Amino acid sequence: MTTHTSAPATTHTSVPAYAAPSAKAPLERTTVRRREPGEHDVLIEIKYSGICHSDIHTARGEWGDDGHFPLVPGHEIAGVVAAVGSGVTRHRVGDRVGVGCFVDSCRECDNCKAGLQQYCTGKLGNVGTYGATGRDGEVTQGGYSTHVVVDENYILRIPGSIPLDEAAPLLCAGITLYSPLTHWQAGPGKKVAIVGLGGLGHMGVKIAHAMGAEVTVLSQSLRKEADGLRLGADHYYATSDPATFETLADSFDLIVNTVSADLDLDAYLGLLKTGGTLVQVGIPERPQPVSSFALVARRKSLAGSMIGGIPETQEMLDFCGAHGIGAEVELIRAEQINEAYERVLASDVRYRFVIDAATI
């Protein structure tokens, strides 16, 4: 990695964007300041930006962060390099690139050195793509915009085989599932369950299937069963049916829970084989009780995982490129963002809204 020299007093350009003017207010069209690309910066012309559930929480001030309005959300960015700083070596004008959930980190802590920038423990921490304070002291603004300037080391290459609109959601939803599936070794001979078939879950099904695992979807109802099987699931069960928890007892090596609603964790731990792991990637608002007995009785683990580092995110994109995997997207115009937010909250999306940046 190159050393970052903090930029001198930079000049800025205003570009079109959609921002939440304050918590609770609908997003509206506005402009946002982008710095002129510094020595190691890349100017990206954004083509598509995915809508992640986190965008909605943040734009509505639900995560206790009230200081950063107006706020431009968006951390599933796919676009094309429009210009590069004089010191940039990793990307060229015209390259297809992506930006995920963070745009910088301390680069010096053990996690950063190990490529686990998402878990940066340095003073800077991982700098969120929006609503965070960057190295230059400016608040970061995300991808619901036409352009963004990002340090070259925090930009990913998007393989030519993935359409850019289908690639955008990989930068958050895709890596959120790829990382635990890789870490806990989903693959041939392994039985993997994905809890919830939404934006995150549908990526889990596709990726776990491509890794060679036997994949089961555990969803509240059988409403999306046909989709689940089409996306690569081998089995599909409704968790609203108590018989499911008897039928599937002691079945799985790995369960990845993408649901952020309250869940009976003990019941799900009962579905694990001896030594199995239940991984949380959704974040429920309230603490979730768990009985130690459900863990100790058969040496089970309850774990968590958050997105992925830069090297692993690149590995995920290359994996998806090689296996023909993109997200299932519903392309919208920018003026439909507020309506899309309501539909995400009503679980009425198959499976990710993606904003066409040409309409911003």
Footprint of Zn ion on this chain (CB under 5 A)? 52, 54, 105-106, 109, 112, 120, 122, 172
Q: Please compute, for residue 325, the number of CA atoms within 13 A of its CA located in the half-sphere on the CB side.
A: 27
Q: Please, are residues 206 and 231 in contact by the beta-carbon 8 Å criterion?
A: yes
For residue 301, give the nearest of 279, 284, 283 by alpha carbon. 279
CB-nearer residue toward Zn ion: 54 or 179? 54
CB-nearer residue toward Zn ion: 46 or 52? 52
CB-nearer residue toward Zn ion: 79 or 282? 282
Minimum separation from the CB atom of position 290 to Zn ion (A): 25
Minimum separation from the CB atom of position 328 to Zn ion (A): 16
CA gyration radius for the chain? Answer: 20
Q: Please, are residues 144 and 18 in contact by the beta-carbon 8 Å criterion?
A: yes
The rounded distance, in Å, linking the Cα atoms of 201 and 259 is 8
Minimum separation from the CB atom of position 18 to Zn ion (A): 17
CB-nearer residue toward Zn ion: 112 or 269? 112
Which residues share a beta bridge with 41?
151
Tell me which DSSP letter residue 69 carries: -
Minimum separation from the CB atom of position 31 to Zn ion (A): 24
CB-nearer residue toward Zn ion: 177 or 233? 177
The rounded distance, in Å, linking the Cα atoms of 172 and 256 is 16
232: its two tokens: 């690569």
CB-nearer residue toward Zn ion: 44 or 84? 44
Minimum separation from the CB atom of position 199 to Zn ion (A): 8
Minimum separation from the CB atom of position 333 to Zn ion (A): 21
The rounded distance, in Å, linking the Cα atoms of 180 and 168 is 20
